[in-house]
Amino acid sequence: MSRAFLVVMDSVGIGGAPDADRFFNGTTPDTGANTLGHIALACAAGRADTDRAGPLHLPNLDRLGLGAAMELASGLAPPPGLGAAPQGLWGAATEVSNGKDTPSGHWELAGVPVPWDWHHFPDTQPAFPPDLSARIAALAGTDGILGDCHASGTEIIARLGGEHIRTGWPICYTSADSVFQIAAHEKHFGLDRLLDLCRRAAPILHAMRVGRVIARPFVGTVEGGFTRTANRHDYAIAPPSPTLCDWAQADGRRVHAVGKIGDIFSMRGIDDLAKGDDAALMGHLARLVDTAEDGSLTFANLVEFDSLYGHRRDVAGYARALERFDAGIGPIIAALRPGDMMLLTADHGNDPTWTGTDHTRERVPVLVAGLGAGALGHLAFVDVAATIAAHLGLTRRGPGRVVA
């Protein structure tokens, strides 16, 4: 029985979204954003040579059709390093959900477009309604909250970490995404206390159509600086209807989650979860290619492209992450069994050359290993779920069309 591996390269967009003019970073529309293309151009021009050098080197992804998918999506001729003749199935997918965030992208890839508009907090200070701030403080057992604004996570803990330790108040902030983030010191506030606070706050925010409450624990001192830890946890609103994961589980198939997938889908339709940094997640993915059961679905998210480099507008760091991923995915693809499908895609963009610090509205690549070669053309996000469901022979296949 065939197996399927759905791998999301978080934020590796390829430009060309037809509605990019409706999405903004600050006052700048996302028109023209192209995460992969602009990184490749910067590398070719020698502007991304920190701890790496030369054109972007992605032989395994490009061999599947990454450069061709980017040209299809955006019209940008492949820069140096992205010109291989495709040996896999390749195409470009366009999102319809009214968002450029993690839940919207992943849910739609799993067959469920978001049927509502997310709530976003205004870029003002304070950013949150006073009654919401008061409820969060009451849940935390404090007299107030810190932050109450749009902010970068690393910047706000550097700025307010000392006051947080002194007062005990949680640091609450948001971004252009539909999120409510709470940062707290693992020792002085307590990791378990932070997770419990976010868990209890989540229903309040979800009722407002805020997509995620995110626990952002950190460690360190005022003198030595503060560092976020790997103990982040997302409390996401549940998908509004059954997803690819539920379809597979309903047919008695095992569903393995790697990375943020458990958080994004509220563990619905998922049998087991493996977490860690991206290096560890690649190890988990390799293990599952070796051990996953016949007929199973493995759904993985590699997040550090987005979290460590996209939001921080670090072009060289993003390029290094792409090259590390490419080097790691080659042996994993080679280990696929006959009849397996591995589909690599993304959930949105996060162009590190763009203004602002938030996601960018872009098309995403669809690269399929294990099923021959050919052009898939333009796809909808939901076609990913329909195609995987058909490959696995699932009873339900959702609203998309089967393309491979």
Binding-site residue set for Mn(2+): 10, 306, 311, 347-348, 359
**40 contact partners, CB below 8 Å, separation of at least 6:** 55, 56, 78, 79, 80, 81, 82
- Residue 121 CA: distances (Å) to CA of 79, 148, 154, 366, 367: 38, 10, 19, 32, 35
Q: Report d(CA 236, CA 205) in Å as an integer.
A: 10
**Cβ(74)–Cβ(16) under 8 Å?**
yes
Reference 370, options 338, 344, 394; nearest CA is 338
Question: Can you name the residues that pair with 25 across neighbouring β-strands?
Answer: 28
Q: Report d(CA 327, CA 65) in Å as an integer.
A: 16
Annotated binding site, which residues? Answer: 10, 306, 311, 347-348, 359
Packing angle, helices 35-44 and 315-334, rounded to 10? 110
Give the number of other Cβ atoms within 10 Å of residue 334's Cβ. 10
